[in-house]
Amino acid sequence: MTQDVTHILPEELLLAYATGRLPEVFDLVVAAHVSISDEARARLDSFDAVGGVLLEDTAPAAMDAGSLDACMAMIAGAPPAPRPEASRSIFPAPLHKAVGGGPEAVAWRPMGMGVRQAILAETRGASVRLLSIPPGAAVPDHGHRGMEMTLVLQGAFEDEFGQYHRGDVEVADEEVEHMPKVIGDETCICLAATSDRLRFHSLLPRLAQPFLRI
Amino acid sequence: MARIREARDQAAFAELFQHFAPRVKGMLMKSGSDAATAEECAQEVMATVWNKAAMFDPSRASLAAWIYAIARNRRIDMARRASRAEPEDLPWGPEAEPDQADALAFQQESRALADAVQRLPEKQRTLVERAFFGEMTHGEIAEVTGLPLGTIKSRIRLALDRLRREMTRP
């Protein structure tokens, strides 16, 4: 399940992921995005080409005497890694693994107005969650304390910066204030990660914040 | 590599091990591992090369790049004490194979990239190396994105398009 994706993760964030420097909370979003967008995958894999060149040129560090034998013992009798199964749902493999199944396995919690969410991981204000937003609904106008990364898995949304369809990822930082609104007649399912709590402008969502844990 | 993939040839694996294991160990030591950890880790990386041989796609990666990626993932998993979310694997099916011409063209591009990296001024080259071996902070990394990766990227994209067509063929 792949398609042409308009909003690809910026190069420097792909590079940060490639080299293991992106905050952990965004790993799942990037892995899912790259699983859907072949353009993002090609960009990401082109960094490995550089890594390969550097590895080839690295001064070898002598291995211990029994090293090859130890490795041979490790591989002896080990069956080859099984062929991975292609994803069959709207969840690409890394998300399927994180959830422990497809969309039917998600423990959704209703948040009112037909919006549902499921927090997949949360540490010290950083979180990664699934959001399900019905057609026509909007997320209240908000800014961000840290970085927010939103990947569309189903349906589409629109804000001041453009339209986002399956596979598209929107990155928002402290400067960005937006009010994403679901477009089309399909429920919009997104995977979103934030490195810090969002900053809402109107009082009501701010009061609700501790409960929604956004 | 083909001998490892198709014939599970241990002699071919020993050759590969002699070439790459010391380089992987060197890379891991550069990224801050002590010698004993790097040694153990390099062995594991090479064992993974054997186990995942069928997933290697020469139309999308050089052998060195593929082994680099395995070592890099291992390094990150170690640092985080957990396995990082990685993109879905996209290997060729048991029957279908990548196009020979694609693989050849890719390996050529890969050599051109190697030349470009070798032509970098020493200071910049060191920066690139530190970025890829995981010693650099996020701020510094923005400086290393000037490498000519356009053609390599297009080659990978082309190979992915062919693979996707093959995967969806009834």
DSSP letters, A30-81, are: HHHHHHH-HHHHHHHHHHHHHHHHHHHHSPP-PPPTTHHHHHHHHHTTPPPP
| Burial track B47-59 (b if 16+ CB lie within 10 A, e otherwise) | bbbbbbbbbbbbb
CA distance A46 to chain B (A): 5
**Which range among A153-162, A195-204, B9-18, B90-99 shows the weakest confidence by mean pLDDT?**
A195-204
Note whether B55 contacts A: Cβ–Cβ < 8 A.
Answer: yes
Using a CB-CB cut-off of 8 Å, the residues of chain B touching A83 are 54, 91, 94
Please state the φ and ψ torsions of residue A51, each to the nearest 5 degrees: -55, -40
- ipTM of the complex, rounded to two decimals: 0.92
Which pLDDT tens digits describe chain A residue by residue (214 residues)?
455 789 999 888 898 899 888 888 999 999 999 999 999 999 999 999 999 999 999 999 999 999 999 999 988 877 778 878 777 899 999 999 999 999 999 999 998 888 999 999 998 878 999 999 999 888 766 666 788 899 999 999 999 889 999 999 999 887 778 888 999 999 999 999 998 655 544 333 333 333 334 3
Distance CA A206, CA A201 (A): 7
List the single residue in A with minimal CA-CA distance to B52: A81
pLDDT for residue B5: 82
Q: Which of B68, B117, B158 to mutate to test the interface with A (most CBs of A within 10 A)?
A: B68
Question: What contacts B153, CB < 8 A, 6 or more positions away?
Answer: A42, A43, A45, A46
The B residues from 69 to 98 touching A (CB cutoff 8 Å) are 69, 71-72, 75-76, 79-80, 84-91, 94
Question: What contacts A23, CB < 8 A, 6 or more positions away?
Answer: A126, A147, A195
Note whether B13 contacts A: Cβ–Cβ < 8 A.
Answer: yes
pLDDT for residue A105: 95
CB atoms B131 and A15 under 8 Å: yes
Using a CB-CB cut-off of 8 Å, the residues of chain B touching A61 are 22, 25-26, 29, 35, 38
Q: Are B4 and B13 in contact (CB under 8 A)?
A: yes
Tokens 């011409």 locate to B101
Cα torsion A51, A56, A58, A64: sign: positive
CA distance A189 to chain B (A): 19
Note whether B157 contacts A: Cβ–Cβ < 8 A.
Answer: yes
CA distance A14 to chain B (A): 11
In the structure, what pLDDT confidence band is assigned to residue B144 with cuts at 50, 70 and 90?
Answer: low
Distance CA A83, CA B96 (A): 14
pLDDT for residue B122: 85
Please state the φ and ψ torsions of residue A72, each to the nearest 5 degrees: -60, -40
Distance CA A129, CA A107 (A): 11
Tokens 């996707």 locate to B164
Note whether B66 contacts A: Cβ–Cβ < 8 A.
Answer: yes
Q: Write the burial class of residue A89 (CB in 10 Å: 0-12 exposed, 13-18 middle, 19+ buried).
A: middle
